[in-house]
Amino acid sequence: MELWYQLVGLLPFEWAQPGGMYFMKNALLAVLVISPLFGLLSTMVVHSRMSFFSDALGHSAFTGMAIGALCGFNEPTWAAVIFAVVFALLFNLVRRKSALASDTVIGVFSSTAVALGIFLSTVGGRSFTKFNSLLIGDILSVDPAMIALLALILVLVVVLWVVSFNRLMLSAVHPALADSRGIKVFWQETVFSIAIAVVVTLSMTWVGLLVINSMLVLPAAAGRNVARNLFQYHLFSILGALAAGIAGLMTSYYVGASTGAAITLYLALWFILTFVVGKRN
Amino acid sequence: MRKIKHGKAASGCGDSCCLKLEGLNVRIQGEEILEDVSFHLHCGEIAALIGPNGAGKSTLFRSILGQLPYGGSITFTQMGGPAIRLAGGTVMGETRPLIGYVPQSPSFDRGDPVSVLDFFTAATAKWPVWLPVPKKYRDRCRRSLERVHGEDLLDKPMGGLSGGQLQRVLLALALEPVPHILVLDEPLSGVDMEGEHQLLEMLDEIRTNYDLSILLSTHDFATLGSFADKVILLNKRVLKVGTPDEVIASPEFYQTFHLRVGKGGER
């Protein structure tokens, strides 16, 4: 971290001067880790039409927090991660076994999870307000240990992308074709949804439940506006997420608004820009 | 009824390699989809599978691909070799025959940022296609596309291909590596007249060049005579097997489709 603080000290901002404002320096580093993470995941979330699923996962993560808090865990985040992974596994299983359309199954899971979360967090007449921070998120409260964890997850997701992006993509395009080429479609989908579950849950505290899904949809949506192959798709998605992440953090610092919301607005701007200059069909 | 003569399963069909389906039956959620389906398909042969919607054509393909549990037996005999059973889902070592599969029109959005090169490389190589694809794989993909006269499609987005172009790309993919059996699920649907002609010519070329068996399903009875060696009329069971003329002239064909197809080829 010392190295990072020294590096940031080179920037010409008032908060970047040595000896203070560590929360802001931490936040910047966190953004530099989280944005490429979401940029990467978002390409596949959009490609395999799972944006509704990641939204539902965000809600289930909140329920996991409530369960964790109820059980008296010091770190309800881990309870939430476990709950989200179970949620993702169950969802995959039900989607496979059921004749219902995917979005219907998601709706069933999502509404159940939300209801359970609200019920558990308000049972016994308790107030819901202590969970408000989860809805909006606060990236300025991120600590170095958490950044290290997120960085580790970024590395793991990159490894997952190197090892199984091809199979994941084919499974999404045509399950039967993928199967005919020896790909275990069910496991590909399961691993991917677990990855989303873990990332969404761990970053929810900082990004905020209400904007987390925009981080998983907007970068890739913008990328699709202009990309003609998968490399360009990833490039535009990740660069867009990074730029919006940094710009959003700066803006929120100077005008004093929610960082998550500011990042999302920049991503929306990026989408509009790519839409205007993008390819025409 | 069956026109194809054969000995016992183990002795094979003379010297030729052969895909044999014997007494195949498939149930999905208690409903019988295929019942006692038997036929043979030899190397270098093009067989057309016809039947009304819901006749079980796609189910038959999925059984051959090992994607469904089934009763009865599906075996493949190499030239002069032993009969190998195609078990449901399990890969039986290196002896299992390779099956090239051209699926029914996969769904690509027009805006999908997947180029033909991306798609092809993802299916045939370990190289992660979200990184720039190296020349080695580019060249390999181009060579494969040359087989189907589609080398100019290399950098086109999959979503922007016409029906015929998409079928050609999928065909090139199914031929990499060259399989023993090529299975095509309605390759002619969504393809215009010219594309259809090209595709059928290509299949004929492939059959002679690689000596493989081709099984395809189709609703286009008018062209059957021009390419198929054998036609299998399926409606849950095999109703008729024979040459295109024999099947089209048969009472079973008339009962199934309530139409007659003239010699001239008009429907």
| Candidate from A50-54, A62-66, B83-87 with smallest mean pLDDT | B83-87
- The answer on pLDDT for A67 being more than 80 is yes
Of A173, A223, A230, the CB nearest to B106: A173
pLDDT of residue A32: 93
> Which residues of chain B make contact with A182, given a CB cutoff of 8 A?
91
pLDDT tens readout for residues B89-143: 444 444 567 888 998 877 777 778 999 999 999 999 999 999 999 999 999 999 9
- The answer on pLDDT for A272 being more than 90 is yes
**Residues from B in contact with A at Cβ < 8 Å:** 62, 65, 67, 91, 99, 101, 103, 106-108, 110-115, 117-119, 121-123, 125-133, 155, 157, 160, 170
Of B111, B118, B127, the CB nearest to A229: B118
Query: What is the sign of the dihedral through the CA atoms of A91, A96, A97 and A103?
Result: positive
> Which residues of chain A make contact with B110, given a CB cutoff of 8 A?
281
Of B113, B123, B170, the CB nearest to A224: B113
> Which residues of chain B make contact with A230, given a CB cutoff of 8 A?
113-115, 118, 129-130
> Which residues of chain A make contact with B108, given a CB cutoff of 8 A?
173
| Cβ contact, residue pair B118, A224, below 8 Å | no
- The answer on pLDDT for B2 being more than 70 is no
> Terminal CA-to-CA distance of chain A, rounded, Å?
48
pLDDT tens readout for residues B52-91: 888 888 899 988 888 888 888 888 877 666 666 665 444 4
Query: Does A279 or B201 have the greater pLDDT score?
Result: B201
> Which residues of chain A make contact with B62, given a CB cutoff of 8 A?
176
C-alpha torsion angle, residues A188, A193, A195, A199 (rounded to 10): 160
Residue whose token pair is 């009329």: B233
Of A166, A174, A176, the CB nearest to B129: A166
The residue-averaged pLDDT of B11-40 equals 80
The residue-averaged pLDDT of A109-136 equals 81
Number of other residues whose CB lies within 10 A of the CB of residue B35: 17
The residue-averaged pLDDT of B207-220 equals 88
Please, what are the domains in chain B? 9-106+179-257 (3.40.50.300), 109-160 (no CATH)
Please, what are the domains in chain A? 26-277 (1.10.3470.10)
The residue-averaged pLDDT of B16-37 equals 85
- The answer on pLDDT for B238 being more than 80 is yes
- The answer on pLDDT for B4 being more than 60 is no
| Candidate from A71-80, A214-223, A238-247 with smallest mean pLDDT | A71-80
pLDDT of residue B140: 92
The residue-averaged pLDDT of A157-181 equals 90
How far is A189 from A172, CA to CA, in rounded Å?
8
| Candidate from A63-72, A253-262, B77-86 with smallest mean pLDDT | B77-86
pLDDT of residue B83: 64
CA distance A113 to chain B (A): 30
pLDDT tens readout for residues B183-197: 999 888 878 888 888
Among A142, A137, A136, A138, which residue's Cα sits nearest to residue A26? A142
Strand partners, B39: B21
Per mean pLDDT, which of A119-133, A193-207, A232-246 is the most reliable?
A232-246
Q: CA gyration radius for chain B?
A: 19
Of B62, B103, B121, the CB nearest to A174: B103
Nearest CA in chain B to A233: B113
* CB-based contacts of B49, cutoff 8 Å, min separation 6: B57, B60, B215, B216, B217, B218, B232, B234
CA distance A124 to chain B (A): 46
Strand partners, B50: B233
The residue-averaged pLDDT of A164-178 equals 89
CA distance A279 to chain B (A): 9
pLDDT > 70: what percent of chain B?
84
| Cβ contact, residue pair B113, A228, below 8 Å | yes
> Which residues of chain A make contact with B113, given a CB cutoff of 8 A?
223-224, 227-230, 232-233
Residue at B52: amino acid letter = P
Which token pair is B106?
Answer: 């996969």
CA distance B45 to chain A (A): 22
When pLDDT is cut at 50, 70 and 90, the band that residue A166 belongs to is: very high
Nearest CA in chain A to B114: A229
The residue-averaged pLDDT of A94-100 equals 83
Helices B135-147 & B163-174 angle (0-180, nearest 10): 110
Strand partners, B139: none
- CB-based contacts of B198-206 (< 8 A; 24+ apart in sequence): B198/B149, B198/B164, B198/B168, B199/B164, B199/B167, B199/B168, B199/B171, B200/B226, B200/B227, B202/B148, B202/B149, B202/B168, B202/B171, B203/B46, B203/B227, B204/B46, B206/B147, B206/B171, B206/B175, B206/B182
Number of other residues whose CB lies within 10 A of the CB of residue B219: 13
The residue-averaged pLDDT of A39-52 equals 89
Among B178, B170, B210, B231, which residue's Cα sits nearest to residue B46? B231
- The answer on pLDDT for B11 being more than 60 is no
CA distance B249 to chain A (A): 35
| Cβ contact, residue pair A229, B65, below 8 Å | no
Instruction: Choose the mutation target among B130, B133, B153, B166 for the interface with A, i.e. most A CBs under 10 Å.
Output: B130
* CB-based contacts of A153, cutoff 8 Å, min separation 6: A37, A198, A199, A202
Residue whose token pair is 């997850």: A153
> Terminal CA-to-CA distance of chain B, rounded, Å?
26
DSSP annotation of A228: S
The residue-averaged pLDDT of B3-31 equals 65
| Cβ contact, residue pair B108, A173, below 8 Å | yes
CA distance B208 to chain A (A): 24
When pLDDT is cut at 50, 70 and 90, the band that residue B266 belongs to is: very low
